[in-house]
Amino acid sequence: MRRTPAAITVAALVLSLSACGGNAGQAAGDAPSPTDPAQVTGAITVLTNRTDQVQDGTLDGYAKRFNQIYPHVTVKFQGLTDYEGDVKIRMNSADYGDVLSIPAAVPLKQYPVFFAALGDATDLAKTYDFTDHATVNGKVYGIANIGTANGFVYNKAVWRQAGVTDWPTTPQQFLDDLRAIKDKTAATPYYTNYHDGWPLTNWGSALGSPSCDTAANDKLADTDQPWGKGKDLKTVDGLLYDIVHDKLSEADPNTTNWENSKALIATGKVATMWLGSWAVVQMRAAAKNAGANPDDIGFMPFPSQQDGHFCSVVRPDYQYAVNVHSEHKAAARAWLDWYITKSGDAQAALSISSVKGTPLPSDLAPFQAGGVKFIQLSNAKTALVDEIDKASEIGLSAQDYPRRIVDVARGAAAGDLTGVFDDLNRKWSQAKGSVG
């Protein structure tokens, strides 16, 4: 596993964060929603991974609208290209903005150490979805702006050229369709986005789709073999392995580029990528910019069915939190609330708003028409799963885990799929025993 200053392991992160935790606990406080905008003052800094929205002025435009209601608050944005790496380092001090997206490597049980409580879970769950993902002891510490369904972004024109018009219903059929694309078109059937790394982590979001089981994540805490026969992770990771092993992806994963991949799929040079539904609007924008047809960009579910229907797991995107050290918690909370409920950012991104009752975005209309079942995973045992994952040093949400699968599949690392799964099962079993 790589160890660099910007990409420390989860285990090391927890140790360093724990060391900082004593001071953070002393500064703990709540950040309730303010009731009188005229009394809310202060300058706040918002950390964001959306560097594009910083550069194109979208966030500044939101801030101007926000100031129409909260005229005494100044909002500044810091766009971070390596968001996860930079914020993890900054969280070893008190200087990690006033509002931030919670890094994936922070264990749920440590949320109260670093973030201000936003309210009671029972109350906030009446307004927002996904609050259970950031609830500790009945308090919510983060609220998502959007939820994202998971599936394959694909170029429909390329798939039609290959003679495929129906969604594949099994992993084998999906592989056969990619082979048809390779044989009948000039497109690269699948694009891993290996070099940037973070897009590969989305494969972990397929957990629950093959089985259509809302308890899929919780069950990881109770099994010694998550990659055993019939298990979701074996199905999901096995498909990624087979795509690469069968040479249905780009020739050299080290040369992939996330920003360039948008134009590649938009213009039909790439056929398919596994991503969240949030990516559809970006690919369609790339098609428009390239003079291609935005309507060629589609979205399909994971190729597996239960009782005759597909299942797509809906998960929260980044959850927004208030720094427990912030000197302007009321202003920070005001921005967080306004951004999620009033900015319209979720709708602009064709994403699933976390605000209950909001209609599904248009890009998911084919899922509705096709009878795809949307499910949310239970989080009853998330804290325990996090502990086992940390002890195993697998890193289910980290880049190195799917990268290893790709490396073995393409012959850049020793071993085969059976060996990879045996090793993962061994590490998980040992960690589960030690945590237990």
Of 31, 29, 30, 5, nearest to 92 by C-alpha is 5
Q: Which residues contact 405 (CB under 8 A, 6 or more apart)?
A: 237, 240, 241, 244, 420
Of 273, 316, 263, 317, nearest to 298 by C-alpha is 273
pLDDT 10s digits, 234-290: 999 999 999 999 999 999 999 999 999 999 999 999 999 999 998 999 999 999 999
Average pLDDT, the chain: 92
Note whether residue 294 is domain-resident.
yes
Q: DSSP of 262-321, one letter per residue? A: HHHHHTTSB-EEEEETTHHHHHHHHHHHTTS-GGGEEEE--S-EETTEEEEEEEE-PEEE
135 and 35 in a common domain: yes
228 and 103 in a common domain: no
CA angle 62, 65, 70 (to 5 degrees): 115
348 and 253 in a common domain: no
Of 234, 289, 231, nearest to 260 by C-alpha is 289
Domain with 242, as residue range(s), is 148-315
pLDDT 10s digits, 42-62: 999 999 999 989 999 999 999
350 and 310 in a common domain: no
pLDDT at 411 over 50: yes
Note whether residue 221 is domain-resident.
yes
Residue 167 dihedral angles phi and psi, to the nearest 5°: -65, 135
Q: Which of 315, 347, 373 represents a domain boundary (last residue)?
A: 315
Q: Which residues contact 383 (CB under 8 A, 6 or more apart)?
A: 107, 108, 109
Q: Give the bridge partners for 140, in sequence order.
A: 119, 135
Note whether residue 398 is domain-resident.
no
Q: Which of 259, 285, 315 represents a domain boundary (last residue)?
A: 315
15 and 75 in a common domain: yes
The DSSP call for residue 98 is S
Note whether residue 400 is domain-resident.
no
237 and 350 in a common domain: no
pLDDT at 410 over 50: yes
Residues above pLDDT 90, as percent of the chain = 85
| Structural domain count of the chain | 2
Domain harbouring 289, CATH code? 3.40.190.10
164 and 53 in a common domain: no
Distance of CA 403 to the CA centre of its chain: 16
The DSSP call for residue 329 is H
Buried b (16+ CB within 10 A) or exposed e, 144-157: bbbbbbbbbbbbbb
Q: Which one-letter amino acid corresponds to residue 26?
A: Q
**What's the 3-state SS for 338-391?**
HHHHCCCHHHHCCCEECECCCCCCHHHHHHHHCCCEEECCCCCCHHHHHHHHHH
Of 115, 120, 117, 73, nearest to 97 by C-alpha is 115
197 and 240 in a common domain: yes
Q: Which of 359, 387, 415 represents a domain boundary (last residue)?
A: 359
pLDDT of residue 79: 95
Distance (Å, whole) CA 142 – CA 130: 9
Residues above pLDDT 70, as percent of the chain = 93
168 and 135 in a common domain: no
Tell the burial category of 397 from Cβ atoms under 10 Å away from its Cβ (0-12, 13-18, 19+): middle
Q: Which residues contact 163 (CB under 8 A, 6 or more apart)?
A: 180, 184
195 and 58 in a common domain: no
pLDDT 10s digits, 291-324: 999 999 999 999 999 999 999 999 998 999 999 9
Tell the burial category of 378 from Cβ atoms under 10 Å away from its Cβ (0-12, 13-18, 19+): middle
CA angle 78, 79, 81 (to 5 degrees): 140
pLDDT at 23 over 80: no
Note whether residue 391 is domain-resident.
no
Between the alpha carbon of residue 120 and those of residues 103, 154, 377, the distances in Å are: 22, 41, 21
Note whether residue 351 is domain-resident.
yes
Other CB atoms within 10 Å distance of the CB of residue 348: 12
Distance (Å, whole) CA 97 – CA 324: 10
14: left (phi over 0), alpha (psi -120 to 50) or beta: alpha
pLDDT at 13 over 90: no
Note whether residue 247 is domain-resident.
yes
pLDDT of residue 436: 63
193 and 137 in a common domain: no
187 and 140 in a common domain: no
Note whether residue 433 is domain-resident.
no
Other CB atoms within 10 Å distance of the CB of residue 52: 13
Confidence bin at 174 (pLDDT 50/70/90): very high
End-to-end CA distance of the chain: 25
Q: Which residues contact 417 (CB under 8 A, 6 or more apart)?
A: 238, 241, 245, 408, 409
Q: DSSP of 151-198, one letter per residue? A: EEEEEHHHHHHTT--S---SHHHHHHHHHHHHHHSSSBSB---TTT-G
The residue with tokens 């964060």 is 17
Distance (Å, whole) CA 122 – CA 309: 32
